[in-house]
Structure 1
């Protein structure tokens, strides 16, 4: 039973949060879809979406997807649906350092506040990506279910987002090169020498290469090693893992987390969606948890 502190409110996020559809449906999470184009076909919130395994198969075969960003018009339409129904809106947005989605949602919110002065619309830059954004949504929803009002949940998100750690490794540096994240020389050298980078999302929400290791297994172990270093006394009974169509590697990371953190009982393991996967590519594995610092 959910307590009711003030007006009812809905939590919304972007499709970059990579949450399973079932989770969003069961928890009433609204999702703003980030449009993309692949092989000359455009996909938006009104399209039948391409199955994610098919998306990765096309990318492996050489297709080059292109993503757009959520527009103010799209955000306005999504938020207004809830406002008309008498609900306030708390939108947890994709990192502003990686996309203009947050700016679009802020523009939409400002316009709607004038038209619906009796309603609250709060847009938060989570500085998160993929299931890091998804884990922030999960924690916000748990607080909402416990009876917190919209402003309390918003404050919780602001207080917690700097502790939501994102650690990634990629199998092929060329995708990060195309996205401007690493140099062509580094990408080519990595491919030849079997060098795998470990990256994280920093305090400003940017995707930053940290260091490199040799070999895939070692890079996967490093994700969990970083969790060991950073987790401190934080409650990590819930951990999320996302992957670029490499379920076995994600499962390998999950097993290592369970060995190091026996108290971890809840996992969401899911594909990295198109919006993030376009830039990270197949073979990416990412681990998300709470820690003393990012």
Structure 2
């Protein structure tokens, strides 16, 4: 193994995939009412329970991974193998302070272990967009690329990652400060569905507004396929609640015969806390850099 990969629970990657590919993962914490729930491990919060609590009107929030958690993990790896390079692919700094926590931890570890080789990457991505980049990094690692070589490729992919979202109830995002309240208000009027993306700062921004869910889904698929780089013929569709719409999107994509693979993946509880049920997201690598 040329380098060790670490990510976090917002990447939507399954426990099976993480274990098979020797990826370490740290989890954010979700608080429902007065009770805290982990998002990784045997007792990890599941979406069914989370969504049922949200439906009951329970207050929900997330807590970022703190620098102490990163410090402990980084130190453990450095102690085991001081020569091995470590790279952490982080949830967007535009949406969480987790990236900054990792940077603080890296600097603290380097003070104690100057020989340590720790790189922290801001993916400027969320959910399965972050997971998409982790998967590409795994391919680069397993093909024998050095960390500098892999980071060079990854840097280009980060700029071209296309993340398109549709959320049924935008008030969840507004309450968490992820989008302006004015955007949420528009989304509740006359069945208008704002289409969202992740911009160059790693923040959610509105692309356009479409009336009706079916038209919004078609718009997301059309935009994805118009912009996709066919040298990366893979799309990830992420969802919360029922997977019926995600399956519909998969069929819509495959019938166009442009991509080889469409992965369907549930959004992580960390993301669902801020989006609620009925969220749909499509991730791909575009021909051009994101705007």
Fold agreement, TM-score > 0.5: yes
- Give structure 1 regions of 4+ aligned residues with deviation exceeding 6 angstroms: none
Q: Is the 8 A contact 2:165 2:195 kept in 1?
A: yes
Q: 1 CA distance for matches of 2:67 and 2:256?
A: 44
Q: 1 CA distance for matches of 2:97 and 2:189?
A: 35
Q: 1 CA distance for matches of 2:181 and 2:56?
A: 20
| 1:99 match | 96
- For residues 95-144 of structure 1, give each alpha carbon's deviation from its aligned partner in whole angstroms, at most 9, with x where no partner exists: 11111111100111111123333331000111010000000000000000
1:203–1:79 CA distance, 2 compared to 1 (3 A): same
- For residues 28-54 of structure 1, give each alpha carbon's deviation from its aligned partner in whole angstroms, at most 9, with x where no partner exists: 111111112112111236782222221
* More deviation, 16-25/124-133: 16-25
The one of 235, 256, 260 equivalent to 2:256 is: 260
1:178–1:35 CA distance, 2 compared to 1 (3 A): same
* More deviation, 93-102/50-59: 50-59
1:93–1:261 CA distance, 2 compared to 1 (3 A): farther
Q: 2 CA distance for matches of 1:235 and 1:62?
A: 45
| 2:22 match | 28
| 1:108 match | 105
SS at match of 1:200: strand
Root-mean-square deviation (Å): 1.8
| 1:153 match | 150
Length-normalised TM-score, structure 2: 0.92
SS at match of 2:241: coil
Q: Is the 8 A contact 1:132 1:166 kept in 2?
A: yes
The one of 265, 268, 286 equivalent to 2:281 is: 286
| 2:232 match | 236
Q: Is the 8 A contact 1:90 1:154 kept in 2?
A: no
* More deviation, 46-55/147-156: 46-55
Give aligned pairs, total: 286
* More deviation, 109-118/277-286: 109-118
- For residues 259-291 of structure 1, give each alpha carbon's deviation from its aligned partner in whole angstroms, at most 9, with x where no partner exists: 2244322x3311111222111221110000000
Q: 1 CA distance for matches of 2:145 and 2:86?
A: 14
Q: Is the 8 A contact 1:73 1:108 kept in 2?
A: yes
**1:208 corresponds to 2:218:** no
Give unmatched runs, 5+ long, in structure 2: none
| 1:72 match | 67
Q: Is the 8 A contact 1:60 1:282 kept in 2?
A: no
Q: 2 CA distance for matches of 1:168 and 1:190?
A: 13
SS at match of 2:130: helix
1:247–1:57 CA distance, 2 compared to 1 (3 A): same
1:186–1:206 CA distance, 2 compared to 1 (3 A): closer
* More deviation, 177-186/255-264: 177-186
